[in-house]
Chains A and B, each alone.
Chain A
């Protein structure tokens, strides 16, 4: 049966047809044989019973009148029944009246045999009572062979065998025909599939010849082919488009590469883990190292050893957070010289928001950095000079002021009116000079601030500045109010200086009304925003920026005694602490000065803290 599974359908059809036919025939033959032998046996029994009865009837008179000759004659008629082997007519007492025995046959059964008909081996035994008029006269027994049955069976067997042979032949012919009917369309379909598979031509169609399931199969197959054909076409089209897109992408990549290569900057691309996957040729030209050596984490070879740790930290932080990166570091050129670079990188993200690539550039800012350094040094020198100059100037100026005072007090009566006036000018000039120098000193001192370890209460700074200005406040009949003020990370001296300048200005630039000054502080994000509001003459908006410049004064009234340094000092201090100062005002409607202070300054980032001041 397993081998049948893999035989071709052609042979299967033949085998199935043959097997079905043979099975049917064998079953039918067996059935016929069985039924026939049964029926034949039964009819044989009936026949023999009838025969026995006839003989018994014919023997009654002979038995009744003790006539063995007649009885023997009656029995002798059995000789025509060749299957009757022997027969006997017995009297009631069991003695034999007459007997018949075919040549070479067995003796007839005894008289006491049970009545009826039964098989005894290959033979049939018949025992029939002989009666007349309802009374028993004797017994007839017969012995019959069943050769007839066997013969008949043999004949039937032969017939069935012949029929089997003939039917097999017919079945073979039928199978031939059926093969053509079933197998041909299938093999045609198979041929079609083969040619489609071999040629890859999906426009081939199978021919439908029958309208049965095979026809449906052919139809479905053709539909499937049509589907495959259209999909194949779509696929080809899509492939074409993809090729174009790939070409486009290639071009795009080429453009990017060209762009990156032709940039004066050093360009790099790094994977999400931070390892660089692309470096333009500027890197190789600069470092003089081959690409293989500086790819990945190779940049650690040419970065300045003192920048390595910090750069690695910042870079890893950027990778972890995905925030844009900006930092400076020194890279070693091929000739061994370290040059400052500004490194910038941004993360590229996919649709899911995951980082796929970092694109960055490193710009050689060594010259700028150097110039900046020079400038800083020059500035420092200048500041040093201004500091020492103003410091050294204080002594002679104080002398001028003191001695001009002495001269005024002791010798004013010796001078005439004109002389006294000149002396007064001199004294006034000396006083102004002293103030100017003091302010300048304060300004230069404001250039550096040290980290403040603990916050100081702003109200204390304000109160001490109010105390300093108590005379002026009283003189101006001014009202000064202030809200509750926070604690800030600022040196108290600096804060006091700021308040003193701002409140001093408010007192100074007043109109006819008595000045009303209000100081308050509000929270703005991570900043404290302080404000000093007055009802003075106000500031024309066009001078809003200008007033913070050094020696910039809007008035030229010597009586007001301004040096033009106060607001510059304020700006410098506020910016040193990372804050901002500005004014909001309209001419004649008072002015409000604002400045901000970081609530929690990052003292750790000293660099940023210092670099912010370089603009001032």
Chain B
């Protein structure tokens, strides 16, 4: 009876191993970023933006990628025809020093060094997502981490609250750690 479930678990574990091990094995870390792209997309579903963040009920929800884009085509593929609460998802790529007007989600890759400046430009009503301890320490709201070869994330709840964002409790339950 347990067989199939156990088998599924084994499959999941095998899959995770493959996904997490491959980036290290190969120069291209696409599978890791495919997962991260999916996560990035899913975050929008557990976040409530402050009122007035969208000019209209069907205004697009823009995910901005600052600097180097690690997602290759994954994010664009996922976002295509996707919408959250009536807002069509769009992806915009910005240079590191560009203005962040219109962005509702701001992603800064691990390669971006001037995290403080990027976070400072984010302002109110923007969900900041990044990678690495530096980003976390600089006050990023959600930071991707790798644990047990699985993509996970930490949440800085106070930073999100300071920006007027409300994160879903369900999001918090799956976070690795939550800083209040």
A residues with a Cβ closer than 8 A to B are 57-58, 60-62, 64-68, 70, 95-96, 99, 101, 107, 132-135
Q: How far is the CB of B67 from chain A (nearest CB, A)?
A: 24
- Are the CB atoms of B153 and A64 closer together than 8 Å? no
Q: Is B27 at the interface (CB under 8 A from chain A)?
A: no
Residue-wise interface mask of B (130-153) relative to A, using a CB-CB cutoff of 8 A (1 in contact, 0 not) = 000000000000000000001111
Given known A65-B153, A101-B1, A107-B4, contact A70–B84 (CB-CB < 8 A): no
Roughly how many angstroms separate A561 CA and B1 CA in the complex, as a whole number?
182
- Are the CB atoms of B46 and A64 closer together than 8 Å? yes
Given known A64-B46, A65-B153, A66-B35, contact A133–B85 (CB-CB < 8 A): yes
- Which of the residues A68, A70, A107, A132 comes within 8 Å of B45, measured between beta carbons? A132
Roughly how many angstroms separate A70 CA and B174 CA in the complex, as a whole number?
6
- Which of the residues A66, A70, A101 comes within 8 Å of B173, measured between beta carbons? A70
When A and B form their complex, what is the total count of cross-chain residue pairs whose Cβ atoms lie within 8 Å? 61
Given known A133-B85, A135-B45, A135-B84, contact A68–B170 (CB-CB < 8 A): no
Residue-wise interface mask of B (1-18) relative to A, using a CB-CB cutoff of 8 A (1 in contact, 0 not) = 110110011011000000
- A95: which B residues are within 8 A, CB to CB? 8, 11-12
- Which of the residues B1, B9, B150 comes within 8 Å of A107, measured between beta carbons? B1
- B2: which A residues are within 8 A, CB to CB? 101
Roughly how many angstroms separate A531 CA and B42 CA in the complex, as a whole number?
168
- Which of the residues B1, B5, B45, B85 comes within 8 Å of A64, measured between beta carbons? B45
Given known A65-B174, A68-B12, contact A134–B83 (CB-CB < 8 A): yes
Roughly how many angstroms separate A58 CA and B170 CA in the complex, as a whole number?
7
- Are the CB atoms of B12 and A133 closer together than 8 Å? no
- A132: which B residues are within 8 A, CB to CB? 42, 45-46
- Are the CB atoms of A65 and B42 closer together than 8 Å? yes
Chain B contact residues: helix, strand, loop or mixed: helix
- B38: which A residues are within 8 A, CB to CB? 66
- Are the CB atoms of B86 and A134 closer together than 8 Å? yes
Residue pairs across A and B with Cβ atoms less than 8 A apart, 15 shown, are A62-B174, A65-B171, A66-B35, A66-B150, A66-B151, A95-B8, A95-B11, A101-B1, A132-B45, A132-B46, A133-B45, A134-B83, A134-B85, A135-B83, A135-B84
- Are the CB atoms of B46 and A68 closer together than 8 Å? no
- Are the CB atoms of A133 and B5 closer together than 8 Å? no
Beyond the given A60-B45, A96-B5, please list 9 additional residue pairs across the A-B interface where CB-CB is below 8 A: A60-B170, A62-B174, A65-B42, A65-B171, A70-B173, A132-B45, A134-B84, A134-B85, A135-B84
Residue of A nearest to B41 (CB): A64
Q: Is B168 at the interface (CB under 8 A from chain A)?
A: yes
- B42: which A residues are within 8 A, CB to CB? 64-65, 132
Q: Is B39 at the interface (CB under 8 A from chain A)?
A: yes
Q: Is B44 at the interface (CB under 8 A from chain A)?
A: yes
Roughly how many angstroms separate A64 CA and B39 CA in the complex, as a whole number?
7
Residue of A nearest to B15 (CB): A95
Residue-wise interface mask of B (148-180) relative to A, using a CB-CB cutoff of 8 A (1 in contact, 0 not) = 001111000000000000001011011000000
- A70: which B residues are within 8 A, CB to CB? 173-174
Q: Is B82 at the interface (CB under 8 A from chain A)?
A: yes
Roughly how many angstroms separate A250 CA and B134 CA in the complex, as a whole number?
155
Residue of B nearest to A65 (CB): B174
Roughly how many angstroms separate A135 CA and B85 CA in the complex, as a whole number?
9
- B44: which A residues are within 8 A, CB to CB? 133
Q: How far is the CB of B137 from chain A (nearest CB, A)?
A: 23
- B39: which A residues are within 8 A, CB to CB? 64-65
Interface centre among A57, A65, A67, A96 (most CB of B within 10 A): A65
Roughly how many angstroms separate A107 CA and B6 CA in the complex, as a whole number?
13
- A96: which B residues are within 8 A, CB to CB? 4-5, 8
Roughly how many angstroms separate A135 CA and B79 CA in the complex, as a whole number?
12
